[in-house]
Amino acid sequence: MARPVRVRFAPSPTGPLHIGGVRTALYNYLFARQQGGTMILRIEDTDQTRFVPGAEDYIRRSLAWCGIELDESPWHGGPHAPYRQSERKATYQALARQLVERGQAYYAFDTPAELETMRQQLLASKAEHTGYGSQTRLQMKNSLSLPATEVQARLAAGEPYSVRLLVPAEGEVVFDDLVRGQVRVQANTIDDKVLLKSDGMPTYHLANVVDDHLMEISHVIRGEEWLPSAPLHVLLYRAFGWEATRPQFAHLPLLLKPEGEGKLSKRDGDRLGFSVFPLAWDGGAPAPETDETGPDDEPTPQPTGRSSGFREDGYLPAALLNFLALLGWHPTTDQELLSLPEMIAQFDLSRIHKAGARFDIQKAKWFNQQYIKQLSNEELAQQLTPELASRNLSLPPAKVVAIGGLMKERITFVKDIVTDGAFFFEPPTEYDAQVVAKKWNADLTGYLAALQSALATVPQLDEATARELTHQVAEQRGLKPGSLMQGLRVALTGAPGGPDLMGIIAVLGQAEVEKRLGLALAMVPLP
């Protein structure tokens, strides 16, 4: 019988959530939903020195904004609570002692100074491996090299110690990765990693394996940069006797810089002017990276203070998810615009690429354009209304709907309506010089004055009425309407191009059009 699918996203609360972490969460979510499984979020906060206040809530809000739903988490609860590793300390300690008793791990009493001396000696001798492992452990102070009586005496005296995994000196570690294929690593290249630190807290490696086992995780889907940790984790499952229920691994391709080489970092976003976070970060300084950084952290330095986010830049959540999904995964068709249900239906781990995915912010903008176009005018108005309020602009709801409809084919972000369509909200103060030089003549100004007078006779100005009136006045003056429309547009908006002119006239309304025609005639003299 197939094992129930249970996946987890396990960030550390050390600062803002990098967009690579969001993609990891998304792939876990898509796989869980496609397989009818469970999506878990676990907070990996065993290193309390790196904890940043507000980071956990930031993670919760970011995933909620993106639309990535969680089945079990610190905020939703679940059958495997608690979901914060800092609250599971006793479990890790008991299992670490169990490994020592079974001869799969050992106590190490080495001081930091002694560890550094060992490392320097190995470097000086140009040793192939400079870690604490099968080549060095019997020369160090641990329960393998010291007499049992001395070990007991040190423990009884309360001497600080760590617990290290006893890695086999020979043999291979072999496992299958659902993205990378078969992975083979020589055991003697793996260090005897610390599992339990001298302060009694577990390292990432111990806590990660224990929690994945106890929470019945079936698949570990995480970034490629954590592939080197996988052989160690396989050894830990073996040491605990949990090999039969070890989760399957799937290591995702890196998100690369726009140039295509090297992992995408916050500095790249700063350099090229785009965000790498889902939401703006307004917390304190993110914690520095350490060897205990978890698989869903972004191992690049982050800035102090507020930083921009995709939400604040104006991206729609659905557009961002569609963009991220295709950074490393290919659906079963060449279709690019995929709703979340469509992504879920087509998601398959076997279609994840091995090569890194170049982060193309122009493509992200393209997705946002397409999703804005798919909004109804009413939906776009709902997005636009808060933007107008933030700028102290207020219009009747019907006009907001009309403006959105006129502008949505021409914008990348909802906020562009206010900047690119500024003429909807205030009359122009400048008029396009080229159009004025070419079109501003007695025929045009006479037409504008006649149109201004004729507007007073119109009871209601909609698009059809505007078209009829503008053409009628031109014909009455013996002029071709087509030769006048760009001049009329400049008089009303200041710009030579834009959305449908009759739609603009209908939105502005009779009184505003009359006023703007008068302003243009007064401000722009005949050449």
Local structure of residue 51 (DSSP, 8 states): -
What end-to-end distance do the CA atoms of the chain give, in Å?
A: 86
Question: Which of the four pLDDT bands, split at 50, 70 and 90, describes residue 54?
Answer: very high
pLDDT at 459: 81
Active site residue 266: yes
Tokens 């617990």 — which residue? 163
- All structural domains of the chain, each given as residue ranges with its CATH number in brackets, are 6-74+252-365 (3.40.50.620), 376-414 (1.10.8), 433-523 (1.10.10.350)
Residues 136-153: what's their mean pLDDT? 96
Catalytic residue, candidates 141, 193, 266, 408: 266
Beta bridge pairs of residue 40:
8, 72
Q: Is 219 strand, coil or helix?
A: strand
pLDDT at residue 290 tops 60: no
Non-local (6+) Cβ contacts of 302 within 8 A are: 15, 16, 266, 281, 285, 286
Question: Which of the four pLDDT bands, split at 50, 70 and 90, describes residue 127?
Answer: confident
pLDDT at 289: 54
Other C-beta atoms lying within 10 Å of the C-beta of residue 411: 21
pLDDT at 296: 41
Beta bridge pairs of residue 357:
255
Averaged pLDDT score across all residues of the chain? 93
